[in-house]
Each structure stands twice: as structure tokens, then as C-alpha cells.
Amino acid sequence: MSADRLVAFLQALIRTRSMPGEEAELTDRVVQEWHDLQFDEVRTDAAGNALAFVRGREPGPAWLLLTHLDHVSEGDASLWTHPPFEGVLEGDTVHGRGAVDIKGPLAAQTYALAALLARGERPRRDVWIAAVTQEEVGGEGAAHLVAHPPGEIGAVIVAEPSSNRLMLGHRGVAHVHVQLRGRAHHASLALHDQNPFFALGELLRRVQALTFEPHPVVGASSLTVTQVTHDSGSENLTPNTVTAVLDWRFSEEDAENRATLARLLRDLPTDAQLAPLWTAHNTPGFSTAPEHPLARLVAPYAAASQGDVGATPGVWKFATDGRYTHAAGWPTVGWGPGDEGLAHTTQERVSVPEMQAYATALADLLSRETF
């Protein structure tokens, strides 16, 4: 596998800005690369997802290699050591927005397949590779993909950054906007029962006291307050309303979450609701047991890509499109190059040797294994 071509492709991806809903130019660039690499079928779908197919040696359900096209904003570009959209190669590291989330993993999955074809080999089973839209804002592209599958899918590898560690899932994520009501009045009156900041204080106390039972794979849920806004325009005027945003990372079922929220808000001046499941403000996670055949199959290849035969699987803190493939009944694990701690930061970068190790191990997996 040519490191030069892998790096050049990654740099081209980074240099193509692709915010959610604005992925079309990047889709075209990915499709062009897959055509140039002579994948057997290359196309896009109605959601703007990029899809390609590489025919295997044996019949049966296909692998799905899954990444996405969009990235978050670069923020203040002056805070970056290297310009966020130049794809600077410094030593053996490529810098830029999307380097780990998720253009490095997309490039590595692409060149794992390219490496097989370049040496005249075919994967043992058919392989679909997909780069989908709007992952960063709820997963509209992945939702379309599982509703309109390109073929029979037998197993999914989600290549979000994991430092090449096998990942067994992640918790769900919900955002609840709690608007606490009061009555605006002059601060000198100090009417605490009409000041919604005191109701907010009680809400914060309850959130702090809340505990969850640990899930055997993805761990215990968490709930915290991330934003607080109010409608007072003066330092000597209390607000009519205070709104707090609750960030909820959960493993419980939806009905249990709704009951928990009801207890959390009981007797407070609010009627906040948890959004319906499978909307942008409430999506579940997924978990795959370490004993699952897919986890056992991928584990040694992930360990090889880490250079650690004793490596143990992990779970992601953040959400991925694996929630959609898992819910569709497609066995799903995670495995991708890049440090997840660098995602969405101004230090975002990815190691070229790590991408190469991943691509080599993934090519070996695809050439040897079935399920």
C-alpha cells in the first residue's frame, strides 16, 4: 500500500470543507477516488451518501465499512497550530479539521480495499464501503442507508477514531431543554419563589444526586447540565424563564428514561419533555458483547494494528452511526485509526503509520475471514 497515495487522499479530503448538509463536493471527491481505484461499483444515493462495492470470492452477506463525510466547525482558525483546512503533513502526522473525525479513517478504509486490489486479490466476502452524510447532527445519512440497504449486510465495522482499538459500542445521547418558569420582578424584592434561578438550583442538586446502574458493556449512564440561558436583560431584573440543557448519555430503555426525567422534574415549574426516540435530540447507543462472534473475529486484527496482542476492547464516550446499523440488526463493532480525544479540537491530527497499520490489518481481515 502506498503511503503517499493514502496521505494525498487524506489531504484532499481535509482540504474539502464538508459541514453537515454541505457534503456534496466531498462526496464527489470520494466517488472520484473510488472510481480511480477501480472498485466494482461506485454510486451515490438519495441522501448524498457515497457508496462503493468490491466483489468477494465467496457468496454470502457482505461486510459494510462505515464512515461519514461531515465534520464540525473549525471555530477560531487563529487557535490552530496549522491552518485547519490545509492538511499539513508534519513528519509522519497529518493535521487539520476532520483528520481523525473522520477523514483519516475514511482514507484508511479506502486504502485497505485498494491494497487488496493492487496485489490482485479479492476479499473473501463482498464488501460495501459507505461514507454517509450528517452524522454530526443526528445521522440522517445512516438512517437512509439502513432503510435502503445496498445489499445483504452481515457485519459492520464503524471506523470512528479508536487508536486502532476494537470498540464494542457506546451509550445513547439525548438533549433535554428544561425551561423553568418564574415571574420577572425588580431584584430588590428578592421574591425567591418567583425567581426561576432557585428552581434551577434545585434541578442542579437533583442532577448531581442522580446515580445509574452500570451497563455490562458500555458502563453507567451520565446526565449533566451543559448550557444555561435566561430572558432577563438587566442586572437588577429577575427573569421570567431560565432554560437549562441536559446532556444525557444513557444505556437504559426509552420508557425508563422518561420515568427518570419525570422524577427529576417533579414539582418544578416546568413541563420539559424528552424528545421522541430516533430524532436528532434522542438516539440510542449500541453494545456488542465481547463474546459475540463478530467481536471475536475482529479482535486479533485490531490488536495487530495496535501492536498489542493482549489489547482489550473498549467503548466510545461519543455517539456514532453504529446505533443505526445495530438497530437494523446488522452486527456492529467499531475500529478506526486516530485518537478520539483529538476529535473536534484545534489539535486534530492523525498518524500516518497508525493509518497504515489499520489499513494493513483490515485488508488481512477482509481477505481471510467470513462470518
Query: How many residues are recorded in the chain?
Result: 371
Domain with CATH 3.40.630.10 in the chain: 3-170+286-368
Q: Is the pLDDT of residue 226 over 80?
A: yes
Mean pLDDT computed over every residue of the chain: 97
Confidence of residue 309 (pLDDT cuts 50, 70, 90): confident
Contact assessment for residue 31 and residue 341, using Cβ atoms and an 8 Å cutoff: no
Sequence-separated contacts (24+) of 271-275 with Cβ below 8 Å: 272/176, 272/177, 272/178, 272/179, 273/176, 274/174, 274/176, 275/174, 275/175, 275/176
User: 172-283 architecture in CATH?
Assistant: 2-Layer Sandwich (3.30)
Confidence of residue 371 (pLDDT cuts 50, 70, 90): confident
pTM: 0.94
Q: H/E element holding 257? A: helix 254-265
pLDDT digit string, tens, across residues 280-306: 899 999 999 999 999 999 999 999 999
**3-170+286-368 has which CATH code?**
3.40.630.10
Q: Is the pLDDT of residue 1 over 70?
A: no
Q: How many CB atoms lie within 10 A of CB 111?
A: 28
Residue 310 has a pLDDT of 85
Domain with CATH 3.30.70.360 in the chain: 172-283
* Over residues 9-19, mean pLDDT: 98
DSSP state of 102: I
